[in-house]
Chain A
């Protein structure tokens, strides 16, 4: 298996029966995630993330293009046996208790465990729901439901985890727990593919990022490459010549170390030589590493 999941030229158009109304949800989207990677799936609202996840899980069907999940077509039971899925708003049978819901999903996953009761109790403890065993799920808070949703995704010991907004509805401590969980899954060699709007979290834990905007793939790659690919350098000089580039001069910032310029990497040499030629002293030159949030906002034009 070379890829855990792969989209090749996927296009999805929503059409209504007896209506001319068409919504182009995805246009020629292609990307791949390797086994063992944690991949963040980003995009503003309406970018096509949930549609992509729906196609990946076999809930929706693309108009064109191909999707492979764990070397199988989407919806294939062989693949689904190895996938743990958390939908965007996890819905459940409200009359069941947490342990009974997990027992249902354990039975549906086909996984056999020696002591189901102990296994389920362990899972509930892992998502910090121990002590609520007798409470019906319909009475759970939003955060508790999300935790239970994560537990049900883990119940079949999946190789690939697909989480749609796993931290939504969780308090900061809950979000931290989810991040820790994703880290531990990564250490266990699992592939995690998750969508999120909380970019600092994605930046912390992801190896790879895929960014969609209005149904089109606008950025995909390894996290370190994406963050470094901002392609800017910081130059600190003691002064600027009088006839210096007006655009750069306007963006210059006075710091205790000197005058700070942010320059495209391609113009680094030109700017430094200009400064030297004018007799200015270049104190420091550093590559600038953007945050994921900056990359995201730059990529999608602040649409979110």
Chain B
């Protein structure tokens, strides 16, 4: 009951957070701007139809990746801000004076952030479908893949940010989470981004950092008329369990770190 009430109030607070509203506004603007060349390409003459189709597919992939990546920023910032703003304004004092345990407070904040991210994922899904429809393309995938995979990925980002913000300024926590995500991509076996690092370090970092490639819906997404790669259920289950496990570990670390955190107003 208490967690539900606090999660709801967190969600309402996030919806009114000026920075998050600004994030959404800028993001929507960028999507609309990128849709403009999409429409232009669609109206190209029949002579260039093949070339135009290839460009449209590339642009759609770019928009989809951008929408997905933006969600990571939103999840990390929302989680960091949901805790930090309570500590900064002092609202946390009146809340934790109630019979609410600290881990319950953190869990409620986390649930509130996930509620926001659920809306974002639904929005992202709608944008993907609408843009593909405008461009005359088909998104070949199961809807649940486009909904569940990003949610788990954002869950990891939010939990990591929540853990870090119990020990540092929200901006630093946000940057650290983004850096961890970037580094995880660079050290993944299929990437050549961090080739200068010794192999043992790359392997170590790959296991410690959140390997978000595994949790990318792009693995199962094709914006063409091609057939969907058939993936067995157990592979989905393992990938999602990995992500949920990572988020849980980060959330437990957050609860442990927050257990003895002094709550003097920042």
Contact = CB atoms under 8 A, between A and B. Distances in A.
Interface stretch (B125-133, B198-206, B257-265): B257-265
A152 interface: yes
B264 to A, nearest CB: 7
B91 interface: yes
Nearest to A60: B262
Interface in A95-125: 95, 104-105, 107-110
Given A90-B94, A91-B94, A77 B264 contact: no
A91 B93 contact: yes
A81 B263 CA distance: 19
Contact of B96 (A58, A91, A95, A149): A58
Nearest to A51: B264
A267 B11 CA distance: 70
Contacts, number: 74
Interface in B236-266: 260, 262-265
A287 interface: no
Nearest to A152: B94
A83 B94 contact: no
Contact of B263 (A60, A77, A80, A152): A60
A61 interface: yes
Contacts of B6: 108
B9 A104 contact: yes
Interface string B112-147: 000000000000000000000000000000000000
A109 B98 contact: yes
A109 B96 CA distance: 10
A223 interface: no
A57 interface: yes
A193 to B, nearest CB: 13
A58 to B, nearest CB: 7
A9 interface: no
Contacts of B94: 85, 87, 90-92, 105, 149, 152
Contacts of B260: 61
A109 B99 contact: yes
Nearest to B88: A91
A90 B101 CA distance: 20
Contacts of A221: none
Identify the interface centre among B95, B98, B265: most chain A CB within 10 Å of its CB: B98
A222 B54 CA distance: 86
B91 A108 contact: no
Contacts of B99: 77-78, 80-81, 108-110
Contacts of B189: none
B9 A93 contact: yes
A152 B97 CA distance: 11
A244 interface: no
Contacts of A258: none
Contact of B89 (A57, A91, A104, A105): A91
Name the residue among B9, B12, B16, B94 with the largest chain A CB count within 10 angstroms: B94
A230 B191 CA distance: 80
Contacts of A95: 12-13, 16
Contacts of B9: 93, 104
A304 interface: no
B262 A110 contact: no
A59 B91 contact: no
Contacts of B96: 57-59
B262 A61 contact: yes
Contacts of A81: 99
B91 A92 contact: yes
A89 B90 contact: yes
Contact of B264 (A54, A110, A149, A152): A54
B262 A85 contact: no
B95 A59 contact: no
Contacts of A91: 89-91, 93-94
8 contacts: A59-B262, A60-B263, A61-B260, A81-B99, A91-B93, A108-B6, A108-B95, A149-B94
Q: Closest 8 CB pairs between A and B?
A: A85-B97, A91-B90, A59-B263, A108-B98, A77-B99, A81-B99, A87-B93, A80-B99
